[in-house]
A and B are shown apart, each in its own frame.
Chain A
């Protein structure tokens, strides 16, 4: 896996000639800190993902990942504290229900199930973050760009 990361670290990850866009919604207290831990430990991570920090996974409105997809994201990753360890006690319990429903709903629109993933990553799990984002990016690269994109089409 380190070899793959050696390659990917040189240039933006591409699929079918276009740079991949992945949006990662990370909860502030656990997952964002976990990604930060990965960075501090100089763990190699792929290009191609952009992090949006939210205070808690429970804050995630299901429209955020949907808007991301319809605005041109090829993959969306959501991560929060482990259930039972939420900084706000119960936020991630609500999130878990919502995210599971969304995960089952997206394939109905034609968005491959592997394009949306939710995980629980704590602040110390830097390596878990590295593994998750790398595997996810590789999978998205395999799947290719999602053919929904924002076209600013002028009226005829």
Chain B
């Protein structure tokens, strides 16, 4: 797996060529908030920070059509019964995501454990994942809300990326490393040139510096600690400000719960899968009317237990990549690092 250099002034030409084969997604500011989109203008030149919405949408969109039906009337012969047309095919375009961060892309591996490991494989997620290529840009300058190194990720983590790029600002270019056959193919395009040993060494130094710059929280034994604190009144205290909105869940690259709903519009209808959040009270509302997580502290506790206790018990990884979006966007200032620290101290 080789190293190549991509000069920043070659990016436009590279994107033009890539657009002939893929639907290209770039980080961009869409009138007020940032996300990955196939429209301009792009924020590729930004040196730090991630988009508000994560790359989760690329493989797990907010709305997924599961099936659609339509009753078609027989206009020739009104006495023949109407027919039903049902649509369930999975046709997805090939996507290339240019400029996501390692914390976004590692989340695909965490999704994989749930959506592909095991007896039942989710066809929608898997088909989209097969059709997606990730060119990730590592973080030379972390944000104050980043904590990827505490949860097994890092500013230059390579999991699930096809190419990882390190910004080399003095050379006005990126150092690109291929991590898969597709990545190798992309790096052979003529916008990429050979890298020299000094540049590779500088990028490694930058990676070390970036990693050292992120504050580390000690989470050893958090799995068991959280279970031990299950009945602890600390949860009432920690959850007292929570508004039960879905911001942390919807922005999180690893949160993967969904809801399936049916809609009918006259003679047509559809079944869709949409994002759901365990922070919403109706998440655990049962048909009888009983709600096992009827209070805020129970729902709040569940979120952190799922991410740092239940999921690690099943898959030996935290269900979190430390991107810090939940910290930046929480309207009442709830900090996941604080919640974990307080639990560790108990």
Residues of A within 8 A of B (CB): 150, 152, 154-156
Contacts and interface: CB of A to CB of B under 8 A. Distances in A.
- B interface secondary structure, majority: strand
B61 A155 contact: yes
Contacts of A152: 68, 265, 268, 270
Contacts of B270: 152
Contacts of A155: 61-65, 272
Interface string B237-272: 000000000000000000000000000010010101
Interface string B65-78: 10010000000000
B93 A156 contact: yes
A56 to B, nearest CB: 27
Contacts of A150: 265
Nearest to A156: B61
16 contacts: A150-B265, A152-B68, A152-B265, A152-B268, A152-B270, A154-B65, A154-B68, A155-B61, A155-B62, A155-B63, A155-B64, A155-B65, A155-B272, A156-B61, A156-B92, A156-B93
A156 to B, nearest CB: 7
Interface in B38-85: 61-65, 68
A86 B65 CA distance: 47
Contacts of B93: 156
Nearest to A150: B265
Interface string B197-221: 0000000000000000000000000
A156 B64 CA distance: 8
Contacts of B61: 155-156
Interface in B261-288: 265, 268, 270, 272
A48 B62 CA distance: 36
A48 B294 CA distance: 49
A154 B268 CA distance: 14
A150 B263 CA distance: 14
Contacts of B268: 152
B274 to A, nearest CB: 10
A155 B272 CA distance: 10
For the complex of A and B, 3 pairs with smallest distance between CB atoms: A155-B63, A155-B61, A154-B65
B10 to A, nearest CB: 28
A113 B65 CA distance: 36
A117 to B, nearest CB: 27
Contacts of B63: 155
A51 B65 CA distance: 33
Contacts of B62: 155
Contacts of B92: 156
Nearest to A71: B265
Nearest to B91: A154
A71 to B, nearest CB: 9
Contacts of B65: 154-155
Interface in B84-113: 92-93
Contacts of A154: 65, 68
A142 to B, nearest CB: 29
B122 to A, nearest CB: 14
Nearest to B272: A155
Contacts of A156: 61, 92-93
A150 to B, nearest CB: 8
A154 B272 CA distance: 10
Most buried by B among A150, A154, A156: A156
Nearest to B23: A156
Given A152-B68, A152-B270, 4 more contacts: A150-B265, A152-B265, A152-B268, A156-B92
A155 B125 CA distance: 13
A152 B62 CA distance: 15
Nearest to B57: A156
